[in-house]
Amino acid sequence: MKPDSVNKNQSAIETVLAGKSDEQLKKLILDISIRFPESCDFILRWQQSKGKIDVSAELAFELWGNAESIISQFNEYGGGPDEDEEEACEYINELCDLIPKLSWDTRREIVDEMLVQYHYGNSGFDDLLTDTCHEMCKEQEELLYLAEKFMSFGGRWDKNRAMSIYSQLGADEKYLEIRTESLEYGNDYLELAQYYEQQGNIDKALIYAHQGLKKGEGALNGLVLYLFDYYESKNDTKQLESLKSFCETKSIHLEEIYNRLFAYYKTADDYENAKEYILKKFEVKRGHGMDKLYGDVKVYLNKDDWNTVEPGLFLALKERDLPGYMEICLKKSMKQEVCDIVTGVSIPKKYNPWSTNFDSFADKIAGDFPDEIIKYYWERVVSLVESGAGRDRENYIKAMNYLKKVKNIYLRIQKNKLTWENRLAQLRTTYQKRRAFLEESRVLD
Q: What is the pLDDT of residues 159-181, one digit of tens each?
A: 989 998 988 898 888 889 889 98
Angstrom distance (rounded) from CA 320 to CA 206? 38
Band (pLDDT 50/70/90 cuts) for residue 57 is confident
Predicted pLDDT at 5 = 46
Question: Which pLDDT belongs to residue 18?
Answer: 64
| Statement: residue 51 has pLDDT above 80 | no
Q: Mean pLDDT throughout 332-352?
A: 86
Asked if residue 37 has pLDDT above 70, the reply is no
pLDDT at 1 over 80: no
Query: Residue 338 pLDDT > 90, yes or no?
Result: yes
Over residues 140-153, the mean pLDDT reads 93
Q: Which residues contact 289 (CB under 8 A, 6 or more apart)?
A: 321, 324
* pLDDT above 50: residue 6: no
Better-scored residue on pLDDT, 352 or 277: 277
Residue 129 has pLDDT above 50, yes or no: yes
- Confidence (pLDDT) at 44: 56
- pLDDT for residue 347: 76
pLDDT at position 391 is: 60
Radius of gyration of the CA atoms of the chain, in A: 34
> Can you give the residue ranges of every domain in the chain?
380-445
Q: What local confidence, expressed as pLDDT, does residue 118 receive?
A: 94
Q: For 123-132, what is the mean pLDDT? A: 94
Alpha-carbon distance values, 206 to 1, 212, 236, 239 (Å): 60, 10, 14, 12
* pLDDT for res 194: 94
For 56-72, what is the mean pLDDT? 90
Q: Is the pLDDT of residue 45 over 60?
A: no
Specify the pTM: 0.69
Is pLDDT at 157 greater than 70 in this prediction? yes
Contact 162, 182 (CB under 8 A): no
pLDDT one-digit tens code per residue, 189-246: 999 999 999 999 999 999 999 999 999 999 999 999 999 999 999 999 999 999 999 9
Q: What is the pLDDT of residues 13-27, one digit of tens each?
A: 666 666 666 666 666
Three-class HEC string of the chain? CCHHHHHHHHHHHHHHHCCCCHHHHHHHHHHHHHHCHHHHHHHHHHHHHCCCCCCHHHHHHHHHHHHHHHHHHHHHHCCCCHHHHHHHHHHHHHHHHHHHHCCHHHHHHHHHHHHHHHHHCCCCCHHHHHHHHHHHCCCHHHHHHHHHHHHHHCCHHHHHHHHHHHHHHCCHHHHHHHHHHCCCEHHHHHHHHHHHHHCCCHHHHHHHHHHHHHHCECCCHHHHHHHHHHHHHCCCHHHHHHHHHHHHHHCCCHHHHHHHHHHHHHHCCCHHHHHHHHHHHHHHCCCCCHHHHHHHHHHHCCHHHHHHHHHHHHHHHHHHCHHHHHHHHHHCCCHHHHHHHHCCCCCCCCCCCCCCCCHHHHHHHCCCCHHHHHHHHHHHHHHHHHHCCCCCCHHHHHHHHHHHHHHHHHHHHCCCHHHHHHHHHHHHHHCCCCHHHHHHHHHHC
Residue among 339, 341, 418, 405 nearest 374 (CA): 405
* Predicted local distance difference test score (pLDDT) of residue 13: 61
Phi/psi for 96 (5° steps) reads -65, -35
CA distances to 33, 71, 107 from 113, in Å: 22, 11, 10
Cα–Cα separations (whole angstroms), residue 318 to 80, 327, 333, 355, 429: 48, 10, 16, 17, 42
Q: What span, in angstroms and rounded, lies between the C-alpha atoms of 91 and 84?
A: 11
Residue 46 confidence (pLDDT) above 80: no
pLDDT single digits (tens) 353-398: 666 689 999 999 999 999 999 999 999 999 999 887 656 688 999 9
How high does pLDDT run on average in the chain? 89
Q: What is the mean pLDDT of residues 260-267?
A: 97
CA distance 336 to 333: 8
Residues 397 and 440 sit within 8 Å (Cβ to Cβ)? yes
> For the chain, what percent of residues have pLDDT higher than 90?
72
Q: Which residue has the higher pLDDT, 12 or 438?
A: 438
Which residues make Cβ contacts (< 8 Å) with residue 329, sequence separation at least 6? 335, 337, 338
pLDDT at residue 354, rounded to an integer: 61
According to the model, what pLDDT value does residue 3 have? Answer: 40
Q: How confident is the model at residue 156 (pLDDT cuts 50, 70, 90)?
A: confident
The gap between the terminal CA atoms of the chain, to the nearest Å, is: 51
Q: Is the pLDDT of residue 79 over 50?
A: yes
Long-range CB contacts for residues 305-313, cutoff 8 Å, separation at least 24: 305/275, 309/279, 313/282
pLDDT at 10: 61
